[in-house]
Structure 1
Amino acid sequence: MPRVLTALRHAVVVSASALTLAGCAQPWQQFHAGEDQSAIIARMGQPREIHELPDGGRRLMWPTQPMGTTNVVADIDASGKIVNVRQVLQLSEFQRAQIGKWTSDEVRSNFGPPAESGFFRRSQREIWSYRYLENNITPMMYHFAFDASGVLREVMRTPDTDRDRNLRRF
């Protein structure tokens, strides 16, 4: 009898854990390719930005910059169906940007509005900075530097000193 109770307790713990993890799914993880765009708009609200894509589709965005660390993006095909939904303010997405090829327009259409922007006179570069969480833990900033014609020339990441409590004291 004790083995049966132990097995039953184990099954209850495993089931409760699975239900808890299922409840942790992020809003953008609840949509699937092929669904109508109306499903995501009903759940997420009207997008703050819409960008036309070369294939006739559209990119819908729900950014949280300047202080947030997420930007949910839904690529929609020409017929109004979801192609994919993802959170783009993360290192793997930033690393897709191609130095010397991407322009500021492409950065904006892929990542949305920056949290901060500025111009460095000495290097003649416009800098756009995006807040994100590296490994979903560490507050970071990812920076894109553009030349005078708007072409991406450099990228860099730094700690977000406004968010990281350990760095505030320095």
Structure 2
Amino acid sequence: MRAVALILCSLLLAGCITAPRLQPSLSRSEDVVAAYGQPRRIWPEADGGRTLEFSSQPVGRRCVMVRLDADGRLVRIDDGLSAASRARIQPGMTHEQVSRILGTERSRVYFQLSGEDVWDWNVEPDQGGYGLRFNVHFRAGRVVRTSQSMVLAHRRFPGVAD
């Protein structure tokens, strides 16, 4: 049994078992849904296209954002939680602007003393050994700053984050 599990893991790591390859301008919305399942949200775009959000929150570390044109053809696929996407979050942005970039958040917490509403996302850490959360701090519905938080494994339950 252990040998079978090792072989499957090796195949997955080698990329032999993957979702169907999607190609810009050729793949259609049906192909995207077949590869990723039903989107969590669909964002309308000004040009008549739309962006399909496939967020893995609250436990995952990715948010696949699939941009389709007005005819339903694939334009591009982005990871909404990549370092480049997180760098796009700037002071003054609204809740919707942030969600359109990062996707659905893991959690929201309101801190009464600071007046901040803090949303967070699990993201890929720079190195192993800990989890990482990207936090966006809002005041009066606008971004005031961003931060990151390390998430250490629970002492009593190794492998489970606090």
Structure 2 match to 1:61: 53
Structure 2 match to 1:9: none
User: Separation in 2 of the partners of 1:155 and 1:53?
Assistant: 26
Structure 2 match to 1:97: 89
Native 8 Å contact 2:65 2:77 kept in 1: yes
Native 8 Å contact 1:74 1:86 kept in 2: yes
Given the alignment of the two structures, is residue 110 of structure 1 paired with residue 101 of structure 2, yes or no? yes
Question: What are structure 1's unaligned runs of at least 5 residues?
Answer: 1-19
Identity fraction in percent: 22
Structure 1 match to 2:122: 131
Letter aligned with residue 121 of structure 1: Q
User: Separation in 2 of the partners of 1:24 and 1:87?
Assistant: 20
Higher helix share: 1
Q: Give the CA deviation at 1:141.
A: 0.3
Structure 2 match to 1:39: 31
Structure 1 match to 2:9: none
1:108 is paired with a residue whose SS is: helix
Native 8 Å contact 2:90 2:145 kept in 1: no
Sort the Cα spacing of 1:94 and 1:81 in 2 relative to 1 into closer, same or farther, 3 A: same
Native 8 Å contact 1:142 1:157 kept in 2: yes
User: Separation in 2 of the partners of 1:40 and 1:57?
Assistant: 14
User: Separation in 2 of the partners of 1:115 and 1:103?
Assistant: 17
Sort the Cα spacing of 1:47 and 1:110 in 2 relative to 1 into closer, same or farther, 3 A: same
Q: Give the CA deviation at 1:30.
A: 3.0
TM-score (norm 1): 0.74
Q: What does the per-residue CA deviation read over 1:51-109, in whole Å, with 9 as the maximum and x for residues that have no partner?
A: 11222211101111111111111011111111111222222211111222x21111112
Native 8 Å contact 2:80 2:103 kept in 1: no
Q: CA RMSD in A?
A: 2.9
TM-score (norm 2): 0.77
Structure 1 match to 2:16: 23
Q: What does the per-residue CA deviation read over 1:98-131, in whole Å, with 9 as the maximum and x for residues that have no partner?
A: 222x211111122222111111112211110000
Letter aligned with residue 45 of structure 1: G
Structure 2 match to 1:51: 43
Paired residues, what number? 148
Structure 2 match to 1:146: 138
